[in-house]
Amino acid sequence: MTRIYLSPPDVGIDDQAAIQRAVESGWIAPLGPEVDAFEIELATMTQRAHGVALSSGTAALHLGLLALGVGPGDRVLVSSLTFAATANAVRYTGAQPVFVDSDRSTWNMDPDLLAEALDGDSRFAACVPVDIYGQCADYARIEALCAQYEVPLIEDAAEALGATYRGKKAGSFGVMAILSFNGNKIITTSGGGALVTDREDWARQARWLATQARDPAPHYEHSTIGYNYRLSNLLAALGRSQLADLERRVEKRRDHNQFYSEALGDLPGVGFMPEGDGCRSTFWLTCLTIDPSEAGTDREQVRVHLESLDIEARPVWKPMHLQPVFSECEAVGGSVSAELFEHGLCLPSGSNLGDEDRNRVVAGIRDLFEP
């Protein structure tokens, strides 16, 4: 039996052909027709006017914050339950993240805690809610709060490409959004990301900063510190091919979620990440929670047992307010995400996960409940 991975890349013959065609076209650079077309398709997919294809989602966050003028001395509100990239990008600019805890009903940024933070004495340069595990945050309230306090909102939709919230696409909320095409995400370019926005000036600035901030001159002239953040034309070709298959990928992951819920929902102390009101999640990863007082086992025992069966499962993100590197940062609340980390486990959820493998995962978990 082969190892079952959490969320491996799903790359097929069409994808290989797309890369091959791009190689044959001769555009082997961080510019070219595939990049241009990918950017238009990403903008369309996220209901935005502009897309900027970049080397990672982290780079997109960094350039997005720079476009807003975020810098040293600024504070930025960030979901505590996220991957470190969201908070790292804030630090790249010299600003400080302020972590906001999760709402139990969505696992996303708690709008009540956000309201509390905004109502205090601090001013915030930006707010970055994360669409965790592919489910959009409560943008009806979060967008209204950010508008009321005039704090620009960047949606971290790295895990949510293909999700919707009240009929609007993930990536369409706030003044800009970021996407990731890392190897484990819904679509992949092996590594890559994008910034999407309606603001033409921000898109232009991001492209310029991402190509070492070259001023217009026949020689190399620079008046600003730039970055090497553009996506290559070859990888954009892969991204376009993957994007054309997005709906099937999301359906697969949603089907895994339903399968796991039905196959494990009867177990004592086992719960699943809820799908919020008006949300259609990608279920990038299916996450369950194990309450040890009812289950007679715990998250870590289940994880270790699955590992012994060559099945990769991972604890839910360790919240940023509990990370040593961010221990000096301010936090608003924190007990909900701390509990989700303690009890939460992410199950194999790749769009190429087969029926037999899913059954193996379920049987492995049931082992610990039915001795």
Ligand X SMILES: *Cc1c(COP(=O)(O)O)cnc(C)c1O
- Max intra-chain CA distance, the chain: 74
Selected binder of ligand X within 18, 39, 43, 56 (CB under 6 A): 56
Whichever of 106 and 297 has its CB closer to ligand X, that residue is: 106
Selected binder of ligand X within 10, 39, 156, 357 (CB under 6 A): 156
3-class secondary structure, 60 = helix
Whichever of 182 and 257 has its CB closer to ligand X, that residue is: 182
Q: How far is CA 239 from CA 35, 104, 186, 211, 285, in A?
A: 9, 34, 11, 20, 20
CB 127 within 8 A of CB 152: yes
> How many H helices and E strands in the chain?
13, 15
Selected binder of ligand X within 7, 46, 80, 82 (CB under 6 A): 82
Is 108 a binder of ligand X (CB under 6 A)?
no
Whichever of 85 and 163 has its CB closer to ligand X, that residue is: 85
Residue 214's closest CA among 224, 228, 202? 224
Is 130 a binder of ligand X (CB under 6 A)?
yes
Is 7 a binder of ligand X (CB under 6 A)?
no
CB 163 within 8 A of CB 131: yes
Whichever of 90 and 264 has its CB closer to ligand X, that residue is: 90
Burial class (CB in 10 A: 0-12, 13-18, 19+), 210: buried
From 16-24, 151-159, 352-360, 363-371, give the range in contact with ligand X by CB under 6 A: 151-159
Is 189 a binder of ligand X (CB under 6 A)?
no
Chain residue whose CB lies nearest ligand X: 57
Q: How far is the CB of 243 from ligand X (least distance, A)?
A: 15
Is 337 a binder of ligand X (CB under 6 A)?
no
Q: How far is the CB of 294 from ligand X (least distance, A)?
A: 30
For the four alpha carbons of 192, 344, 133 and 118, in that order, the dihedral sign comes to negative
From 77-85, 217-225, 274-282, 345-353, give the range in contact with ligand X by CB under 6 A: 77-85
Q: How far is the CB of 359 from ligand X (least distance, A)?
A: 28
Selected binder of ligand X within 9, 97, 171, 193 (CB under 6 A): 193
Q: Please work out the total of residues on this chain that contact ligand X, with binding judged by CB under 6 A.
A: 14
Is 281 a binder of ligand X (CB under 6 A)?
no
Is 83 a binder of ligand X (CB under 6 A)?
yes
Selected binder of ligand X within 46, 58, 233, 297 (CB under 6 A): 58
Counting Cα atoms < 13 Å in the Cβ hemisphere of 305 gives: 18
Is 159 a binder of ligand X (CB under 6 A)?
yes
Q: Tokens in use for 361? A: 């995962």
Is 182 a binder of ligand X (CB under 6 A)?
yes
Whichever of 182 and 289 has its CB closer to ligand X, that residue is: 182
Whichever of 322 and 362 has its CB closer to ligand X, that residue is: 322
- In whole angstroms, what is the distance from residue 367 CA to residue 268 CA? 13
Backbone region of residue 292 per phi and psi (left: phi > 0; alpha: psi in -120 to 50; beta: other values): alpha
Selected binder of ligand X within 22, 76, 85, 195 (CB under 6 A): 85
For the four alpha carbons of 232, 63, 317 and 79, in that order, the dihedral sign comes to negative
DSSP 8-state secondary structure symbol assigned to residue 317: -
Residue 77's closest CA among 348, 330, 357? 330
Residues in contact with ligand X by the rule CB under 6 A: 56-58, 82-83, 85-86, 130, 156, 158-159, 180, 182, 193
